[in-house]
Amino acid sequence: MNRFAASDDMDPLLRSLRNGLVSDRLGRESHKRLNPDWVESALSEASSFIIPVRGEDSLFYRKPEPRAALFPAPAVRERITALDNLVYLGHHRGEDFFAISVYETVNAIPWELLDEGLAFDSLWSTGMLIDQFEASLLAYARGMCYWHHRTKFCGACGGDTRSERAGHMRVCANEQCQSIYFPRTDPAVIVLVHAGEHCLLGNKSSWPENRFSTLAGFVEPGETVEQAVVREVKEETGVDVNTLEYHSSQPWPFPGSVMLGFHATATRQEITLLDDELRDARWFSRSEILAAKAGTGWLRLPSRISIARRLVEDWCQTQ
């Protein structure tokens, strides 16, 4: 029996562990970030590995089955002159994991150590095909490398920044400034609105016409997450909601968000598209959702890697 299977009394922690890109097996061990000597020592250990990130893509073995490609840390360390783009991720079962941006350290990567059959690909398309722990590592690595890429210059004075705390802090190198920057995660709400035996899904203009998903949007300054749910649903569809129930969360490194998932009950079901966010929005019956899950009918549901899919499937199972 899957202990993470949906149930009415499941707490949000267990629900979160069912979501794609989530695992509880990595010990982040933040105290190690404060010790440069430990970091340097770990990079010389055969039990340490480095995860390459190329822009939005991660590196995968394709055969015999998809899996994350990792480099032995000592082989990479001997080619790196500076650790500015290296990030310590954490520890699991005697192994330590780091991330590095390939774009910024391409000459340091010992490609000859890896077999053929490798390819860079989007975590979005490959994440559900690999081990969930590996997927969570790649998501973490991608988010951190993106943050480093976007924070190379100080937002206060425009000067260069340098990496500290094993990649978990950047400091302005300008002695008159010395602003400090930490990795940021933008909170976003995502909600499945339902009314009786129907749920509300929307279609964006950039999607195929048969693909529908839950409603989502970023939390604005001065706003609670609950207020953001009500506002986003109203702005996108004109539907009023109440009785919000927190479901679970999911890191979303596309590029750097955390999705806060909710279920909500509609009090006004008439749909009016009030902005340009959606091309279409409709109420779908439970039978239509079940047919889509089975691969029949015309409706295409969200990807299985997304919390959107969890929200829809759990609603189906609890009706």
Is residue 163 scored above 60 in pLDDT?
yes
Is residue 8 scored above 50 in pLDDT?
no
Rounded distance, CA 247 to CA 101, Å? 34
Cβ-contact 262, 188 below 8 angstroms: no
Mean pLDDT value of segment 74-86: 82
Mean pLDDT value of segment 182-203: 97
Query: Any idea of the CA torsion for 108, 112, 117, 118, to the nearest 10 degrees?
Result: -10
In 64-142, DSSP assigns E strands to: 67-68, 71-72, 86-92, 95-101, 118-122
Q: How confident is the model at residue 262 (pLDDT cuts 50, 70, 90)?
A: very high
Per-residue pLDDT tens over the stretch 129-155: 999 999 999 999 999 999 999 999 999
Pairing state of beta strands 48-54 and 95-101?
A: parallel
Q: How much is the pLDDT for 106?
A: 62
Spatial CB neighbours of 104, under 8 Å, sequence gap ≥ 6: 85, 149
Rounded distance, CA 54 to CA 42, Å? 23
Is residue 6 scored above 70 in pLDDT?
no
Per-residue pLDDT tens over the stretch 280-311: 999 999 999 999 999 998 999 999 999 999 99
CATH superfamily of 186-318: Nucleoside Triphosphate Pyrophosphohydrolase (3.90.79.10)
By CB atoms closer than 10 A (0-12, 13-18, 19+), residue 292 is: buried
Q: What is the pTM of this model?
A: 0.90
Average pLDDT, the chain: 91
Among 280, 281, 292, residue whose Cα is nearest residue 316? 292
Rounded distance, CA 161 to CA 171, Å? 5
In the chain, DSSP assigns E strands to: 48-54, 57-61, 67-68, 71-72, 86-92, 95-101, 118-122, 161-164, 169-172, 180-181, 186-195, 198-203, 215-218, 240-252, 257-268, 280-285
Phi (first) and psi of residue 312, to 5 degrees: -70, -50
Residues of the chain with CATH 3.90.79.10: 186-318
Evaluate the CA torsion angle 220, 169, 47, 81 in order and state its sign.
Answer: positive
Mean pLDDT value of segment 52-65: 87
Mean pLDDT value of segment 267-280: 92
Among 296, 287, 303, 284, residue whose Cα is nearest residue 192? 284
Residue 64 Cα distances to 59, 113, 115, angstroms: 15, 18, 12
Among 156, 148, 146, residue whose Cα is nearest residue 82? 148
Is residue 80 scored above 70 in pLDDT?
yes
Q: How much is the pLDDT for 7?
A: 45
Cβ-contact 262, 249 below 8 angstroms: no
Which residue matches tokens 């699991």? 92
Mean pLDDT value of segment 13-31: 92
Q: How much is the pLDDT for 105?
A: 64
Q: How much is the pLDDT for 28?
A: 96
Per-residue pLDDT tens over the stretch 111-131: 676 667 788 889 988 998 999
CB atoms within 10 A of CB 54: 17
